[in-house]
Amino acid sequence: MANTFIPLGSKDLLTFASLSPREVAALFDTAAATKRSPAEYRAALAGCSVIMLFEKPSLRTRVTFEVGPARMGGHAIYYDHSKDRIGQRESVRDYAKNLERWVDCIVARVFSHAVLEELARETRVPVVNALSDLHHPCQGLADYLTLAERLGGITGLRGFELAYIGDGNNVCHSLMQGAALTGARLTVITPPGYEPSAPVVSECRTLAERHNTGGSVRVTTDKAGVRACRAVYTDTWVSMGQEGDAGGRRRAFEPYRVDGALMAAAAPGAWFMHCLPAHRGDEVTDAVIDSPASLVYDQAENRMHAQNALLLHLLASKD
Ligand code: CP
Ligand code: NVA
């Protein structure tokens, strides 16, 4: 086991953009090591307590944040916030100031990203974004880790062409920031009106320039944007909290389904990716998600390895 994990510059992980390219590389190295030799990390988080505050349902994020710390000698507590939102029963400040007396890390899934920012401001322990309306950095980390494993390491991501097709919201924003930091070239394809946030697009361009990664983000409504892409990524058309608008969304997204024809328009042998949960028959056909080109279960597995690495580095940073 590595004796030290490089401390991260930011106390929290609220967005992928809080990391530097060097930190992403270090996280990937640690994730690979924990995945390869789990026994060596059996006590790496001994005595560490993580609390998970979830305003929305979850399978992957919840299970991986429970199993991961347990495998490294720590433990996690799940706190269901689906009935009362964070800040409802008592102020976010009081909540944060209580929690920091008992736990080493707060992992939160929220409707509003602003709640995460407030939590992070009000507490000295790390706060990890487990999905907000704006970002899903743990997902993005696992996704680029999954690609890096197939490309001979993180340097294989430089110039790697991938497409995201679907809603330009949380998962898309984290993939965009990840592209800027790893040097991948991401084409975002959305129906008109569902483009990613303009400030996030411009932040990504600034990030890629500042770190000179060669990463890029291009936004289009044209499905032909998948041409030459070696991976095609999609997400649900109706994110949690958007159910009231499901009908209109289905109509807008229908032409953007990932099916055999769309995959055939990408580079030969292109991989298919999805954060899951998938809505089979909507954003992706069974034939595509069940094909040998599909990486979806590897992405899900890597959620745990990426997050384990993150916890090791974040908790190492606190001393
Ligand atoms: N991809 C993802 O975050 O899945 P869950 O919603 O099941 O956690
Ligand atoms: N965009 C989806 C991601 C789920 C992991 C949502 O917010 O529901």
59 lines ligand 1 (CB under 6 A): yes
84 is annotated as an active-site residue: no
Place of tokens 């976010």: 92
Is 290 an annotated catalytic residue? no
Q: What is the pLDDT of residue 1?
A: 62
- pLDDT given for residue 4 in this prediction: 79
Supply the CATH classification number for the domain 139-299.
3.40.50.1370
Substitution candidate for ligand 2 out of 138, 169, 194 with most atoms within 8 A of CB:
169
Beta strands in 1-60 (DSSP E): 49-54
Instruction: Decide whether any atom of ligand 2 lies within 6 Å of the 161 Cβ.
Output: no
User: To test ligand 2's pocket by mutation, which of 131, 139, 174 has the most ligand atoms within 8 angstroms of CB?
Assistant: 131
Of residues 138, 172, 229, 275, which has the active-site annotation?
A: 275
Distance CA 71, CA 38 (A): 8
Per-residue pLDDT at 142: 99
CA of 212 to the centre of ligand 1 (A): 32
Catalytic residue among 60, 81, 135, 136: 136
CB 44 within 8 A of CB 310: no
Report pLDDT for 10: 97
Q: Is 235 a catalytic residue?
A: yes
Give the 3-state secondary structure of 121-183.
HHCCCCEEECCCCCCCHHHHHHHHHHHHHHCCCHHHHCCCEEEEECCCCHHHHHHHHHHHHHC
Strand order in the sheet with 231-234: 216-220, 185-189, 161-165, 231-234, 271-274
What's this model's pTM, rounded to 2 decimal places? 0.98
Would you give the DSSP letter of residue 236?
A: -
Helices 21-36 and 137-150: angle between axes, nearest 10 degrees: 70
Q: Give yes or no for residue 283 CB within 6 A of ligand 2.
A: no
Residues of the chain with CATH 3.40.50.1370: 16-135+303-314, 139-299
Nearest CA to ligand 2 atom 1: 239
Using the mean position of ligand 1's atoms as its centre, give its distance from the Cα of residue 138 in Å.
Answer: 10
Q: What is the pLDDT of residues 65-81, one digit of tens each?
A: 999 999 999 999 999 99
Residue 152: per-residue pLDDT: 98
Q: How far is the CA of 236 from the centre of ligand 2 (A)?
A: 7
Based on the residue annotation, tell me whether 303 is a catalytic residue of this protein: yes
- The reply to whether 75 belongs to the active site is no
Cα(300)–Cα(280) distance, rounded to whole angstroms? 17
The set of residues, in sequence order, having a beta carbon less than 8 Å from that of 290 and lying 6+ positions away, is none
Which residue numbers in the chain have pLDDT < 70? Answer: 1-3, 317-319
Distances (CA, A) of 201 to 19, 73, 176, 224: 17, 39, 7, 20
The reply to whether ligand 2 has any atom less than 6 angstroms from the CB of 235 is: yes
pLDDT computed for residue 316 by the predictor: 72
For 16-135+303-314, CATH gives 3.40.50.1370
Per-residue model confidence (pLDDT) at position 317:
53
**94 Cβ partners below 8 Å, 6+ apart?**
none
- Could you tell me the two tokens for 109? 């899934």
How many angstroms separate the CA atoms of 195 and 225, rounded?
A: 14
Yes or no: say if 180 and 215 are a contact pair by the CB < 8 Å rule. yes
Residue with tokens 């042998």: 269
